[in-house]
Structure 1
Amino acid sequence: MAQWQDLLKLDSALQSRVQQLYEGRFPREIRHFARSCIESQDWVSAAESENAARTCFQALLDYLEEQWNRSVQENNILEGPDFRRMTDYLMEHFQGQPVNLALIMSDCLNEEKKILSSVTTAQNNVGMPLKWREVNNKVTELKWQISELKKEIKTLDGLNEKLDFFQQTWQSKVEQNIQVAESKVQMVEGECLKQANIITHTKQIVVQRLVNLLNQTAQTVATLTDVELPEWKYRQQLSCIGGPLDTSLGL
């Protein structure tokens, strides 16, 4: 719950970034009113496991049901949040695919942390000149994104390994027992297809983040080489003729 509370304290520009995270993906109403439950779940692990995802999904439904019952007991149905509508939304969109919910929540919570981290970095750099604060903030953000991207790639590798192992193990069982029921075969193939779809969706997210990261890196490098480097060379030249100027290029 602390993370969402911290986001509510941000200025309107940063809150708009949070709003964009959820737009078209997940209702902010649920994020707000179920914040304690959402932040207590391990969505990262749930994104890798159907069983873990279903456990998190059920925990969220149970929480909303509990809040609804409290509204009824307190005669606060009309004034309070519409917990029934939130439950209906979750059932309609994620009952059959709880892993999709886990992917969305893990991604959004991670992006929220980045926004809060950017605020902390900005506060720590108050004493720097404005242009260097901007560059330093960009570099810090890039480092954070690289770290998170490495984690996501590792997660993706794990999903691929699990699917490969499952398919190989199943194929071996089929070869040893050619009388496997057709219904069992269809069920396993359906599960493999579901896992493959999750992997494909995760790949798309990772690739898009990698593209964004490369674009941001190119912009930062351009700032350093096209703007700051010529200024640094000029300061060095002045220093060589006795000018008491700063010749450093470090942040």
Structure 2
Amino acid sequence: MSNSADSSSGPGRRLFRHPARVLTAAVFALAGLIFVTSANTAKGTNLRTDSSLLKLSDLIQQRSGKNADMEGTNAAARKDVDALVRRDDGSTEAENARLKALEQAAGTAKLSGRAVSVTLDDAPPDATANPGYPDPQPNDLVIHQQDLQAVVNALWQGGARGIQVMDQRLISTSAVRCVGNTLILQGRVYSPPYKITAVGDPAGLKQALDDSPAISNYLLYVKAYGLGWKVDQHRAVTLPGYSGTVELHQAEPVK
């Protein structure tokens, strides 16, 4: 009996009687290995704030600000160049008048006149369906690219002489695009509410908005879920001239 008791209490049995001690030692050993690996990887830097981990939205906002600064510089340089050209080119009054007309058509000159503005906005954060409508899905509560395009297209159809989206003038190569719930226009990023202003005959502009099937569909969501929609008429508005690059780019076939 004594031999059996000695055998059961010897070193060979201790591991099985105290598994918790062994598990604790293993956990501490693994933690030490992780700390060493992390230190070797970081090399004295903070892994959490590595520039490679910056959110894409932050990078877009940084680029948007840089593009805004570059547009301002470009506009100032263009103004100086135009002044020098008018002073030294020896053009006749008729030629200068034709040049001004082309600048107006291209959207690079300021434009003043009566106007209509349209403001679109996302639904309130706590929006619910009005009686008679199904519960909204997330996409039902935000402004989409096609909503902005519908307004711009209707205003052109209504005889707009010029259109400004937010603080930028549209030209023939402008593209109204949305990424997520933000608008990207000519290298700049905007968040709702979105304001679109058109210079032209207010009656014709408003009628075009009323006649647009795409806008009629949007107004259903305004009624159902509370998306923002506001139309204002202005006696006098001055749209800025387009100040970005006017270089044209085209697709090329792959060789």
The interval holding the TM-score normalised by the smaller chain is under 0.3
Instruction: Report the TM-score, using the length of structure 2 for normalisation.
Output: 0.21
More helix as a share of residues: 1
More strand as a share of residues: 2
Instruction: Report the TM-score, using the length of structure 1 for normalisation.
Output: 0.22
